[in-house]
Amino acid sequence: MEKIKITVNGKEIFGKSGDTVLNIAAENGIEIPNLCHSKELKSFGACGICLAEEEGNKKLIRTCSAEAYDGMIINTETERVKRARSAALELIMSDHEGDCVGPCSLNCPAHTDVQGYLKKIAEGKDSEAVEIIKKKIPIPASIGRICPHPCEANCRRRLVEEPLSIAYLKAFAADKDLESKSPFVPEIEKESGKKVAIIGGGPAGLAAAYRLRIKGHSVTVFDAMPEMGGMLRYGIPEYRLPKAVLKKETDAIEKLGIVFKNNVKIGENEDFENIRKEFDAVLIAIGAWKDAKIGCAGEELDGVFSGIDFLREVNTGKIPEIGKKVAVVGGGNTAMDACRTALRCGAEEVYVIYRRTRAEAPAEDSEIEEAAEEGVTFKFLTNPDEIIGEDGKVKAVKLQVMELGEADSSGRKKPMPVKGKFETVEVDSVITAIGQKCDAKGFGSVELTQKGTVLMNEQNGATNLEGVFAAGDAVNKGASIAIDAVAEGNLAAKAIEAYLCGMPFEAFEHAYSKREVSEKDYFEIVKKPREKMSVKPAGERKKTFDEVINGFSEAQARNEAKRCLECGCHDFGECKLIRYADENRINTGKFKGVKHNIFTERKLISIERDQGKCMLCGLCVRVCEEKIGKGLLGFRGRGFKTAIKPEFEHGFEIEGCANCLECANICPTGALKIIK
């Protein structure tokens, strides 16, 4: 065949006359997006993705069928082509019904591949599970113990009986990996020569440090405290997160070649501007270490402690004098940590004062239940009106009785005082745990919000200062859960990586397809009870700071992981449709309306067909007919109701499918799944 030269996106390439533009481009290492093309099959032109502008041609061409000629000049990335390609993708996605990833992953702030690591745990491959987890969370043994697991609240298994115990399974695999002779260690890329300073060694700072070091950058973490870990180290009690576990994980991060510098306080023994000059990029991840004030008389009395200060003192081995009767103000997890810690510090009567009901309390149910088992008294619908003192020391707390009114901006019913109704409780100390605030002193001209947090662009993690980024509890809305901080640390790392490489960066929402399901979709699933995490008896555990959970046995962990319904698409990692949808930043909700009938079938013996994911590209039909010579698949129906189904639904005609699998291998969307 005659050799020809064509130009694609300004690059001259060579091919054979008579061949298509798409094939010649592919042979020269240029990918033109396509979903329905295979070099082994005849051109079909079904997807409308492989478009290009040809010089001298007013119409867009389909490169999968356009025959190339010598001197041909085309461009596949013009604005006109991008608009047309995006429209085609939006139309396809409007009728694409399937879970790209499971709702567990979608609702994990760090978007961990839950389905992936649960499968590895089920198979007994804990180190491989940890490898998957650490792509998003570098401290899984710690996070698995203390995370309030929004993933579990959205687990589809809840529609069968109970959600999976995802967080504890994460901790189980991480513990096994840490105890092994060869714990997982990520591969470090070639040294970049770039230096990054991270100020703050909590979850956000550690996540960013881990991610940036893997990319080959030199990373130094500065922290004000004697050891790394931030609030995980100094704000979470030992009985929930043993510090030896956290230390193993921070040590593993340090061994990657990251420099840890502790007892460094910005504005006191280190200057922020000096750090900026020394490093190519800086991340502020200082957390929120100040308690919010409750705003009542007597707050200045001796015996009033902030929850954060109280927990920090205990975690450093300094037990404060709190007396025998203690009141803890607040309804979140910090309040639960404080009240349960107070018992372990010798308090005999501990009260939790919360202005709403238990139903509105943000603390985890398990934390409230375990606190009650240990003897904590909950006084819901009360709020401190005055802390009463004698000789400058706390003697009692006067409580305003509350009732719930209309819902406020948070969606919860607003607590309102019941006029003239009070009660008084005698106490020796009061611990306040109603919120956390950031202290950004020492950071020069970095811009702050009205709340005093660092103002951060949520799309790229940047602050108002060149090369300075921010993440975690110190930014924008303020303190949140640890996994949120990890997620923001990951985002900041991506932004810093792009910045160091001179590339633009902006976070975006993935164009994921999501199924709407109900209990009826899972009525055939066999019910398997959730493995229960056993805890030490209340009378025993409240006397020590030993970890309260006993951990899963190996059998429990394997059984629990096997309960996973594997909601996410089996082919997500290789799916061209979702990759192109993301690259083109499409609007998945642009076209609405009725979708094809959704069904699955296994009439091809070893292949499961999910019609919801089928985009009618015809590849499976054509490979069966043109390459295999069987023609067992075909288009059924006309117009919108068209579907691909076996031409022969019974008999020997499809028995060969069990060993062929060509249709499943060529499917671009995961509509065909090998099940043998």
The tens digit of pLDDT for each residue in 421-433 reads: 999 999 999 999 9
Distance CA 568, CA 512 (A): 11
Name the one residue in this structure whose structure tokens are 């139309």: 91
pLDDT of 261: 98
Q: How confident is the model at residue 98 (pLDDT cuts 50, 70, 90)?
A: confident
Distance between the two ends of the chain, CA-based, in angstroms?
44
Nearest to 195 by CA among 209, 174, 179: 209
Name the one residue in this structure whose structure tokens are 């809305």: 477
For the chain, which domains are there? Answer: 3-94 (3.10.20.740), 103-184+528-561 (1.10.1060.10), 195-289+438-500 (3.50.50.60), 291-436 (3.50.50.60), 596-674 (3.30.70.20)
Distance CA 411, CA 521 (A): 30
DSSP for 65-84, written as a single string: TPBP-TT-EEES-SHHHHHH
CA–CA distances in Å: residue 375 to residues 84, 307, 370, 432, 609: 66, 19, 9, 19, 55
Structure confidence by residue, pLDDT tens digits, 103-128:
999 999 999 999 999 999 999 999 99
Q: How confident is the model at residue 68 (pLDDT cuts 50, 70, 90)?
A: very high
Structure confidence by residue, pLDDT tens digits, 435-444:
888 989 999 8
Q: How confident is the model at residue 231 (pLDDT cuts 50, 70, 90)?
A: very high
Distance CA 88, CA 580 (A): 11
Distance CA 196, CA 278 (A): 9
Q: How confident is the model at residue 653 (pLDDT cuts 50, 70, 90)?
A: low
Could you give the 3-state DSSP secondary structure of residue 314? Answer: helix
pLDDT of 591: 80
User: Residue 157's Cα: distance from chain center in Å?
Assistant: 19
pLDDT at 650 over 60: no
Q: How confident is the model at residue 1 (pLDDT cuts 50, 70, 90)?
A: low
Structure confidence by residue, pLDDT tens digits, 235-256:
999 999 999 999 999 999 999 9
pLDDT at 556 over 70: yes
Distance CA 183, CA 126 (A): 10
Lowest average pLDDT, out of 236-245, 387-396, 559-568, 596-605, goes to 596-605
Structure confidence by residue, pLDDT tens digits, 609-631:
888 898 888 999 999 999 988 88
Output the six-digit token pair for 2. Answer: 């005659």
Please provide the average confidence, as pLDDT, over all residues in the chain.
Answer: 93
CA–CA distances in Å: residue 437 to residues 66, 222, 298: 62, 20, 21
Q: How confident is the model at residue 288 (pLDDT cuts 50, 70, 90)?
A: very high
Distance CA 178, CA 320 (A): 34
- Cα Rg, the chain, nearest whole Å: 30
Structure confidence by residue, pLDDT tens digits, 377-416:
999 999 999 999 999 999 999 999 999 998 877 777 899 9
Q: Which residues pair with 423 in a beta bridge?
A: 399
pLDDT at 463 over 90: yes
Output the six-digit token pair for 447. Answer: 């811009």
Q: How confident is the model at residue 652 (pLDDT cuts 50, 70, 90)?
A: low
CA-based torsion, 606, 615, 565, 524: positive or negative: negative
Q: How confident is the model at residue 90 (pLDDT cuts 50, 70, 90)?
A: very high
pLDDT of 400: 97
